[in-house]
Structure 1
Amino acid sequence: MSIIGNKISERRKAKGLTQEELAELSKVNLRTIQRIENDENEPRGKTLILICEVLDINVEDLLNIKNETNYTANNLIYGYTLATKGTRFLANLIETLIFSVIIFIPYTLYTLSSLEEFHNIDSNPIGIQFAAIFGLIVGAIFYPIFTGNLGHRIFGLKVISSETGKDFNKASGGAIRELLKGVFSFFIIPIIWILWDEKNQNLYDKLTKTVVVDKNSKV
């Protein structure tokens, strides 16, 4: 039985109503009620509203319950298609190359040519602390604009909450997510984790309760 059909059936029985009584009170055809509860049909629009009014069910809450369990063999979550492992890898690779050209390579060349760095050969300008700070800045800037990072933007992806399905577009949330991404990358944890995760998510996705989806795949 579908989530909606199951919820309607449970609430009807809890109220002590028969299918005939629900049909009469809601002005919905009895056969329609039977088809809904037998998972032969899914109520929409006015039909769903009429049934929910009689059973005291909030329509929006019912649809949210459906969305929260809408992970299927087609890799759907909250109506979006999950980003594939390959696409996520390419998005991360391209983003890294862009930032390397714009920031990391010039910065490294500058520090290596500095007399001070020449006398401190063990210095590593691109260390874990730099990655953490850079992640904070990137996340705070790009997430409110792109609902994700630069790589997501280029490949038509976005980050959403795994709990609500809403866009993950707060500066604070983006900063924390990119910070974790930068730190974990030094230990190759994200690369290993994503290979076996059924939703193609990394460890920092799990910790921030996010998923990466194709933003143009909403159904």
Structure 2
Amino acid sequence: MSIIGKKISETRKSKGLTQEELAELSKVNLRTIQRIENNESEPRGKTLILICEALDIDIEDLINSKKQIKDNINSNLVHGFILASKGKRFSANLLETFIYVITVFIPYTIYKTPSLKEFLNNENPIGFGFAAVFGLIVGAIFYPMFKGNLGHRIFGLKVISSETGDDYKKATEGAIRELLKGVFSFFIIPIIWILWDDKNQNLYDKLTKTYVVEK
């Protein structure tokens, strides 16, 4: 539904009017009202004025809100793709980490730690070296297949070059990006950098010159 069509539909319903009643009040054909609310057409000129008068909607506010939303969408476009939101990137990373913890990290730690006591005391072999090697392997495997990592795949995202907009799908590219991600995961600033960045990039995104976008 278009921005204007959605506003008209919501206002009509909030006033307890049916489409037939709105058509009668505004002197606009019922089929036109239906087409507007079904996003088949957008009201203009006299039709828009009549509907807004019937629903007591300020036309200027309606047009300005449409412009603001369009401007916001355009600001999130890079190379024709919509930037992945901070929330979606966080969710993808969280789910991916959970999957790796269950399937790789816990079994590996238990297997490599000599005793349960040492394991419970957090004396385990997972560190920078493991994170770096694991990142290299994950990036080399998943990027040629998914144009990103496992979390990206699940949430319908992909990684592209910030310079050209090309898909980031080479094994070497993915390996380096995931290596940096794994190593930076031991620090705070490189990971939460995204909270202040207008392009929703972490520090490793900037170093590898990449964006995470909606597919």
**Fold match, TM over 0.5?**
yes
Deviation of the 1:126 alpha carbon? 1.0
Residue 83 of structure 1 is matched in structure 2 by: 84
Say whether the 8 Å CA contact 2:184–2:191 is kept in structure 1.
no
**Residue 196 (structure 2) pairs with residue 186 (structure 1):** no
Deviation of the 1:168 alpha carbon? 0.4
Say whether the 8 Å CA contact 2:191–2:203 is kept in structure 1.
no
Structure 1: 4+ residue segments shifted above 4 A? none
**Residue 148 (structure 2) pairs with residue 151 (structure 1):** no
What whole-Å deviation, never above 9, does each CA across 1:124-170 have from its counterpart, x for those lacking one? 31101100110000000000000000000000000000000000000
What whole-Å deviation, never above 9, does each CA across 1:50-77 have from its counterpart, x for those lacking one? xxxxxxxxxxxxxxxxxxxxxx631011
Partner Cα distance (1:189, 1:101) in 2: 26
Deviation of the 1:122 alpha carbon? 8.0
Residue 207 of structure 1 is matched in structure 2 by: 207
Letter in 2 for 1:80: F
Compared CA separation, residues 208 and 105, structure 1 to 2 (3 A): same
RMSD: 2.1
Residue 73 of structure 1 is matched in structure 2 by: 72
**Residue 200 (structure 2) pairs with residue 196 (structure 1):** no
Deviation of the 1:107 alpha carbon? 1.3
Deviation of the 1:123 alpha carbon? 4.6
Residue 172 of structure 1 is matched in structure 2 by: 172
Residue 62 of structure 2 is matched in structure 1 by: none
What whole-Å deviation, never above 9, does each CA across 1:9-51 have from its counterpart, x for those lacking one? xxxxxxxxxxxxxxxxxxxxxxxxxxxxxxxxxxxxxxxxxxx
Letter in 2 for 1:96: T
**Residue 98 (structure 2) pairs with residue 108 (structure 1):** no
Letter in 1 for 2:92: A
Task: Show structure 2 runs of 5+ residues with no match.
Answer: 1-70
Figure out how many residues of one structure are paired with residues of the other and give that number.
Answer: 142
TM-score (norm 1): 0.61
Compared CA separation, residues 109 and 84, structure 1 to 2 (3 A): same
Deviation of the 1:177 alpha carbon? 0.2
Partner Cα distance (2:129, 2:169) in 1: 24
TM-score (norm 2): 0.62
